[in-house]
C-alpha cells in the first residue's frame, strides 16, 4: 500500500460538492502523492456523512439554519466560530493531519483558534476572493437591516489579521497578493498565486446541446456567462447593445446566468427597446457553457472597476478562450493582464458603453481579427492558462513544506 507523502486537512464553509477550486486543488495534491481530508459544513443535508469524492475523503459536519444565518455576521457575532470549534477539534484529532488548509475567511478564525490552542500545525489560508471588498456590492447588504448590522471595516480588519496569523496564504492573482502585502506589510514569499483556470479536457468533453445552439441567430451573437449582477457590467453590455443593434440589426446579447438584479436589467432592456435583441437564459449548469460559447461570435466580461474585480479572475475568461472565441473585457488589471498576454481580445474602459459598442462593431466588421483572437486564446489555454499548469505553484509549495516538516532541524 502506497503511503501518502503528507496528510492535508481542508476546511470549507459550505456543502461539498460542488466547489471547483477546492476540488481542483485537492485532486492535484492527491495526484502529487498527498492525502486530502475535507471538513465541510453540510447546509444542503447531503448524504452520507462521510464519503469520498474524486479521491477526497469528505467529512460533512451537520449545519443548521441558525449557523447558516449567522455566517453573515461571523465577525460581528461570536456564535458561528464558537459553535464550530468543538467539531473542528474532533475532526483534527480524528484525521491527525500534518498540515491544515482553510478555504476562505468565514471558517478561518475558528480553525486558527483551535489550531493555536491545541495543535500548532502549519496552516495555509486560501482566499478565493477579497470578501470584505466585494461585500460592499452585495445587493442585500445595501438594505436594512443588513446595512446596519454588517460592519465592512470589521471584516477588513479580520481578513488582515487572518493573513498575519496564517503560515502561508494562497490567493487568486499576483495583483491580489500585491494589494494584500502592501496593506499589512507581509513579504511576497508568504503568498502563492493560484488562478481559477479550467481543465480544458473536461471543458471540451461536455457534449454540445443542439437545443442551445438553435437559439442563436445567423447574425452577431454576444455571449456572457456567469452571475448577471450589475457590478459585473451587464448593464454596460445592454447599453452598448443599443448602439450595436442600430448598426447591426441581427445583433443579439445572450445572458447565461442570473442574479437578484435581473429585474433591473429587464427594465433597462425594455426601456431601450431591446426585447428582441436580449436573451435571458437564467442559471445553467457549467456543462452547457460550451454550447452557448460555440454559438457566439464574441464573448464578454464587462466588469465594473473595484478593488475586488481589479485583482481577481473569473472562470469565464478561460472558458471563453477554451471555446476559441474572441473576448471583449473591461480594463480591470487582472483580466487585462491575461487578455494581453494571450492576445485573446480587446479592452475597453469599464462602464464606457460607447467604447464597448465600438469594439463590438469593429470585430463584426473584421472577422479575420475575431478569428485570430479566438485562435490565440485557445492556444493560450492549451499551453499555459489551464489547471495542469496553474496547480504547479500549489504543488511546489506543498513539496517545500513537506521538506521543511521532515528536515532534522524542524
Q: What is the pLDDT of residues 304-313, one digit of tens each?
A: 999 889 998 8
Looking at per-residue pLDDT, the higher value among 228 and 132 belongs to 228
**200-383 maps to CATH 3.40.50.2000:** yes
Mind listing the pLDDT tens digit for each residue in 174-213? 999 988 888 888 888 899 999 999 988 888 999 999 899 8
The cell numbers describing 221, all together, are 451573437
Question: Phi and psi of 165, rounded to 5°?
Answer: -75, -30
Distance of CA 43 to the CA centre of its chain: 20
Quote the longest CA-to-CA distance of the chain.
Answer: 72
Radius of gyration over alpha carbons of the chain, in Å?
22
Strands of the sheet containing 168-171, edge to edge, are 50-53, 56-62, 35-42, 7-12, 99-103, 123-126, 168-171, 191-193
Mean pLDDT of 384-392: 95
Break the chain into its structural domains and give their ranges: 7-197+387-406, 200-383
Q: Say whether 200-383 and 7-197+387-406 share the same fold.
A: yes
Burial of 284 (0-12, 13-18, 19+ CB in 10 A): middle
The predicted-structure confidence for 243-292, as pLDDT tens digits, reads as follows: 999 999 999 999 999 999 999 999 999 999 999 999 999 999 889 999 99
pTM for the model stands at 0.90
What is the reported pLDDT for 214?
Answer: 86
Residue the block writes with cell 509549495: 397
Q: Look at residue 408 in the predicted model and tell me its pLDDT.
A: 67
H or E element that contains 3 = none
Report d(CA 185, CA 219) in Å as an integer. Answer: 52
Q: In the chain, what percentage of residues exceed pLDDT 90? A: 79
CA distance 321 to 378: 5
**Domain 7-197+387-406 bears CATH identifier 3.20.20.70:** no
Amino acid at each position: 500500500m502506497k503511503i501518502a507523502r503528507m496528510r492535508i486537512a481542508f476546511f470549507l464553509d459550505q456543502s461539498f460538492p460542488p466547489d471547483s477550486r477546492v476540488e481542483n486543488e485537492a485532486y492535484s495534491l492527491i495526484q502529487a502523492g498527498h492525502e486530502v481530508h475535507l471538513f465541510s459544513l453540510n447546509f444542503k443535508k447531503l448524504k452520507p456523512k462521510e464519503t469520498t469524492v474524486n479521491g477526497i475523503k469528505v467529512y460533512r459536519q451537520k449545519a443548521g439554519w441558525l449557523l447558516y444565518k449567522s455566517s453573515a455576521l461571523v465577525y460581528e457575532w461570536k456564535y458561528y466560530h464558537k459553535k464550530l470549534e468543538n467539531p473542528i477539534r474532533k475532526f483534527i484529532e480524528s484525521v491527525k493531519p500534518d498540515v491544515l488548509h482553510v478555504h476562505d475567511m468565514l471558517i478561518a478564525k475558528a480553525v486558527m483558534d483551535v489550531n493555536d490552542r491545541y495543535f500548532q500545525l502549519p496552516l495555509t489560508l486560501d482566499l478565493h476572493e477579497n470578501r470584505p471588498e466585494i461585500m460592499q456590492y452585495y445587493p442585500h447588504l445595501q438594505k436594512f437591516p443588513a446595512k446596519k448590522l454588517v460592519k465592512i471595516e470589521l471584516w477588513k480588519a479580520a481578513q488582515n489579521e487572518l493573513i498575519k496569523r496564517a503560515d502561508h496564504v494562497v490567493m487568486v492573482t499576483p495583483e491580489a497578493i500585491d494589494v494584500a502585502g502592501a496593506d499589512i506589510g507581509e513579504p511576497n514569499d508568504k503568498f502563492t498565486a493560484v488562478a481559477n483556470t479550467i481543465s480544458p479536457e473536461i471543458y471540451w468533453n461536455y457534449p454540445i446541446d443542439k437545443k442551445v445552439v438553435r437559439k442563436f441567430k445567423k447574425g452577431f451573437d454576444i455571449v456572457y456567462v456567469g452571475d448577471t449582477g450589475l457590478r459585473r457590467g451587464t448593464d454596460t453590455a445592454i447599453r452598448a447593445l443599443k448602439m450595436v443593434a442600430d448598426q447591426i440589426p441581427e445583433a443579439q446579447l445572450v445572458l447565461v446566468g442570473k442574479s437578484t438584479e435581473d429585474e433591473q436589467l429587464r427594465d433597462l432592456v425594455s426601456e431601450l427597446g431591446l426585447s428582441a435583441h436580449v436573451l435571458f437564459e437564467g442559471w445553467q449548469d457549467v456543462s452547457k457553457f460550451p454550447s452557448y460559447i460555440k454559438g457566439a461570435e464574441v464573448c464578454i466580461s464587462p466588469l465594473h472597476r473595484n478593488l475586488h474585480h481589479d485583482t481577481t479572475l473569473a472562470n469565464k475568461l478561460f472558458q471563453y478562450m477554451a471555446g476559441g472565441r474572441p473576448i471583449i473585457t473591461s480594463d480591470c488589471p487582472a483580466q487585462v493582464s491575461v487578455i494581453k498576454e494571450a492576445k485573446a481580445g480587446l479592452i475597453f474602459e469599464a462602464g464606457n458603453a460607447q467604447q464597448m459598442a465600438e469594439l463590438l462593431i469593429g470585430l463584426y466588421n473584421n472577422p479575420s481579427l475575431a478569428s485570430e483572437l479566438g485562435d490565440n486564446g485557445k492556444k493560450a489555454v492549451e499551453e499555459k492558462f489551464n489547471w495542469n499548469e496553474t496547480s504547479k505553484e500549489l504543488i511546489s509549495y506543498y513539496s517545500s513544506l513537506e521538506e521543511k516538516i521532515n528536515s532534522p532541524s524542524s
